Amino acid sequence: MSLRILDRPFARHILTKLRARETDQVNFRKNLVRLGRIIGYEIADSLECSEVTVETPLGKARGVLISELDHVVIVNILRAATPLVEGLLKAFPSARQGVVVAKRRESVFESPPEKMDVDIYYSRIPDLKPDDVVIVADPMLATGSTILRALELVYAKGEPKKVFVASVIASHQGVERVLRWGRPVNIFVVEVDPLIDERGYIVPGLGDAGDRAFG
């Protein structure tokens, strides 16, 4: 169970552009793709690797191989995760993929966030094997309700070796709720914001990621 905040200047620079009210749809999507790539490389760096010797055309060199790269499954929580997944696929081009179509009930936010309900309209996730590494992508980890429903759908497909959540902004409450869930989950996020408003939006956040990405 862990939380990794990618609070380095370049990731934060892109996040700052993403947050800005004046960033238009095309640039919003582009920046989400860029962050997906950065988060993907960061997740790749955390996977198991082994030292190897490689033959070049001119001799032998020492190298590293990350065997877990061959076992990555990315779960796209539609619709806002689509540009983030496009970026993650730069790091994991051969990943198998699943989708979850989820929509939060647009009721007034009730505290605690466990009350925020989510409808799942469709899900299709590949059967999972014990050496699989699953990355569940959702740019906004707000109340945690959507991610937890998606994680339940993941575990219904088998017991993977590792599970990651790839998000751009999380709320403190959402992070705590996912980390308390009881199964091992590694959260990778660029920033954690302090508040959730009465509709379940992260504040200051970036607004509605799906609306901003797709118009």
Which residues belong to the annotated binding site for 5-phospho-alpha-D-ribose 1-diphosphate? 79, 104, 138-146, 208
Give contact residues for ligand URA (rule: CB under 6 A): 80, 140, 142, 201-202, 205, 208-210
Residue positions forming the annotated binding site for uracil: 202, 207-209
Q: How far is the CB of 205 from ligand URA (least distance, A)?
A: 4
- Return all residues near 8 (Cβ < 8 A) that are at least 6 apart: none
Q: How far is the CB of 32 from ligand URA (least distance, A)?
A: 11
Q: How far is Cα 102 from Cα 184, in angstroms, rounded to an integer?
A: 22
Q: How far does CA 116 lie from the centroid of its chain?
A: 20
Shorter beta-carbon distance to ligand URA: residue 37 or 79 = 79
Closest CA to 34 of 88, 92, 95: 88
Shorter beta-carbon distance to ligand URA: residue 87 or 205 = 205
| Helix count and strand count (H, E) for the chain | 6, 14
Shorter beta-carbon distance to ligand URA: residue 6 or 84 = 84
Q: How far is Cα 153 from Cα 146, in angstroms, rounded to an integer?
A: 11
DSSP state of 71: G
Residue positions forming the annotated binding site for GTP: 30-34
Q: How far is Cα 179 from Cα 6, in angstroms, rounded to an integer?
A: 17
Shorter beta-carbon distance to ligand URA: residue 11 or 140 = 140
Q: How far is the CB of 54 from ligand URA (least distance, A)?
A: 44
Q: How far is the CB of 131 from ligand URA (least distance, A)?
A: 32
- Phi, psi (5° rounding) for residue 108? -70, 140
Shorter beta-carbon distance to ligand URA: residue 28 or 164 = 28
Three-class SS state of 21? coil
Structure tokens at 38: 């950065």
Q: How far is the CB of 202 from ligand URA (least distance, A)?
A: 4
